Each structure stands twice: as structure tokens, then as C-alpha cells.
Amino acid sequence: MSKNVMDYKLLLDMAVFAGDILMQNGAETYRVEDTVYRILQKSNLKTVQVLVMMTGFVATLDDPTMDSLTVVRRIQSHGTNLEKIDQVNQISREFCNDELTLEQAFKQMKALWKEKEPPKIRLLAFALLTGGFAVMFGSNWAEAIVAAVVGLVGAAVQFSCKKGHMHMFVENIVCSLSVAVAIGFLTAALPGTYDTDLLIISCIMPFVPGAAITNAVFDTLHGDYLSGLARAAEAFVIALAVAIGIGMGLFVMAAVLGR
């Protein structure tokens, strides 16, 4: 595309949507910066700059023939959705290879940015994840079923917390607390003997900040020390919140159930 026919504002908006989606769904700082930069390079302008940090990013287009365009985007929430990261990569690659026009790429990126994850999918994923981890850790089928049911409880509580815009630290405490309490009441109400430790370990796995720890190491090794430290701090805060929530849940179990 030539400088004369490209809509630079539309290009910048599309790049910002891409960066926003990537950062909200757990992409590494390097990936976000590289993707936004490659998209903006299609402008063929003299100056293309992208600065990505843990809490947001800045993108600039400038050329002697025009006024500069700069966008600052603050990222409020972080999660993990590798499918969305892959979809952004696919759209950006097709656009950079001229397989999509700017208008087509913008529409697809905006639709992906607006797309919300169906609650039923998250509920099913949590149940399969917690039940699967229980089996992997050596549980019997009864314990795996209990873990799957508790996974449903954890997913429902997390969905309610996110809908109420609860702070990340409090959200993880509440989710872990609900998981511990649900395990206590289910194992007390159902016949048979259950390994409570195994169930707790299995059911908190969806809340363990594995992606944050991995990205912290990756960013640090790539020289993004600020983002690396920020991600490491985020992982520590999440792990601390989960530990506090489980501790509170075990206290409730001991006080109410005497176990």
C-alpha cells in the first residue's frame, strides 16, 4: 500500500486492537511489541515506534509529510487465552503478507477484540482441568469426580468476581477459599474416604500463575527487565492470594466440620 492511499488512523487502530488482545490474553512483551511494530511498518512511514510495558503500551507513526499519530493504551485486565493469541498472529501475518486488505484485517481484529468467552466453555474447561489433574496426581474416579465438581464451583465464583470487577488479589482469595470450602463440604457429605490434599492441589491448578512465571523468565531473557520484574511480581501476588484463600478455607473447614 502506498502512503497516499493508506488510512494511517485505521492502521494504528488495528495495531492497537492487536496489542490489546495479546496483552489481555497472556502474550509475552516481545510478541506484543513485534506484532504491533510489523503491522505499523506496513505504513512505509519514516518513523514507527512501539513501547510495551506490563500495564500498557505506546505506538507512534510519524513522517515529514504528516502530523504524528500516537496512541497510549492502558491494559486493565490480564488472563490466558492462547487461542486468541494464535488468531491475532494469523490475522497480522495475513495482513503483512497482503492476503488481507487493511479494512478486512481491521474488521477481523475488532471482532476478535469484542468477542467474549462463553461462560459455559469456562465451566466445562475448569471441570475437565481439575478432574484431569486429579487423575494425573493419582486419584481414584470418585476423587476425580469431586475435583471436577469443585472445578465448576471455582469457575462460577471466578466468573462472578470478574463480572463484579473485583480486584485480582481479592478475586484469587475468594476463588481459592470457595474451592477449599467446597472440597470440605463435599468430602464430608459424600460416603467414602477422600485425599483432601490431593483434591486441593488439583483444584487450585487453574489459578496457579504458570503463564505469568513463564513470561517473566522469557521477558527477562529478552532484555525486557521492567516487564519481567512486573510479571514476576504479579505471579508472586497471585500465588500469595491463592495460599491465603486456601488457608482461610482450611480454617473454615476445621471450625465448621472439625477436620
In 3D, which of 152, 141, 137 has the Cα closest to residue 183? 152
Distance CA(212)–CA(19), nearest Å, equals 17
Residue 76 has pLDDT above 90, yes or no: no
pLDDT value at residue 6: 67
CB 171 within 8 A of CB 162: yes
Backbone angles phi, psi at 100, to 5 degrees: -125, 145
Residue 51 has pLDDT above 50, yes or no: yes
Residue 97 has pLDDT above 50, yes or no: yes
CA 45 to chain centre: 33
Residue 4 has pLDDT above 50, yes or no: no
112-140: pLDDT as tens digits = 998 887 878 888 889 999 999 999 998 88
The confidence band for 54, taking pLDDT boundaries of 50, 70 and 90, is: confident
pLDDT value at residue 224: 83
The confidence band for 26, taking pLDDT boundaries of 50, 70 and 90, is: confident
The confidence band for 201, taking pLDDT boundaries of 50, 70 and 90, is: very high
Residue 89 has pLDDT above 70, yes or no: yes
| 192 or 21, which is more confident | 21
The whole-chain average pLDDT of the chain stands at 89
pLDDT value at residue 174: 94
CA 62 to chain centre: 32
CB 163 within 8 A of CB 77: no
pLDDT value at residue 2: 44
| 192 or 18, which is more confident | 18
pTM metric for this prediction: 0.80
In 3D, which of 48, 36, 50 has the Cα closest to residue 3? 48
